[in-house]
Amino acid sequence: MDSLQISEYLQDFKGTELRTDILDELAELKITAVKHGDQQEAKNIWCLEQVYKVKKHFLTIYKQLVDKEFYKAWCELDRADIELYFLRKHFDYSGNIYNLEFIEQIIIQLKMLFPYQYFSSRESTVKTWRCSICSQVITLRNSCGHEVGEIYNGEQCFRSAEDIKFHGIAIVTNPFDKYAVLFIEGKEYNYAMLENLMRNWTNPYEKWEINVSRDLNEEYKGLGRNDSCVCNSGEKYKKCCLKTGKDKHEHYKLLFSEKNPNNFKHMEKQTFNTWKL
């Protein structure tokens, strides 16, 4: 297959198992493009590689969710998001080219349903940065001219870290990569919303969305603005939980646009809790 045929294959693909030889074929085509000095074709092939990776991650995520391998699915989800992040700079997939807009939206929605909130992040000092394209050591006064994120000979430029000194581990809420989920001894994550989703999400290309509402907690109902806050802070309600929003909790509702609501399984509105009670 040439690059055009592979592009058509990826555009039309709506199955569950991608051909395993596609990346090998793209690698061969890239070698030929670079050999002939065709930088644009080499870049196009890199984009097709990214499209393949995103689709592969997406299908793996769906299978792992079906099998209730939630943490594995989370790692695949984060990797798919990173691959899309790399691709956006070089390829406009508006109009749902390769079904990427749909996949991107599903990734955003799935992240909302995972209970993970805290992650570990290393604190370190890097003594040496090296360019992935030319292998030159990069310093403030000595740059090789290759731009991070750009594509050269069909490969994305990045800086590899060497001579790393670790100082410690920090607990964070929104790192760039979110693999290092914190699992707390004695507590079990609540995957109820994901389990609820998978009772109804019957194929990976089925459209669904999340409706989020913020409802008043029972103990605050009927409380006047000038009444003492029920959290026992000593403050008036209007200056305490009403102001901070702690008087409300989030409800998540899953909506399937192409299904009859009467056929939903356990699709009632649910409160989202991080931990099993």
On the question of pLDDT at 207 being above 90, the answer is: yes
On the question of pLDDT at 246 being above 60, the answer is: yes
CA distance 48 to 275: 40
Phi and psi (nearest 5°) for 204? Answer: -65, -20
CA distance 101 to 88: 11
- Rounded mean pLDDT of 254-272? 62
* pLDDT given for residue 60 in this prediction: 98
On the question of pLDDT at 259 being above 80, the answer is: no
pLDDT digits (tens, 9 = 90+) for 25-83: 999 999 999 999 999 999 999 999 999 999 999 999 999 999 999 999 999 999 999 99
Which one-letter DSSP state was computed for residue 173? S
Reduce the DSSP state of residue 150 to 3 states and report it.
coil
* pLDDT given for residue 268 in this prediction: 47
* pLDDT given for residue 176 in this prediction: 78
CA distance 254 to 270: 9
**pLDDT band (50, 70, 90) for residue 3:** very high
What is the β-pairing status of strands 248-255 and 209-216?
Answer: antiparallel
On the question of pLDDT at 262 being above 70, the answer is: no
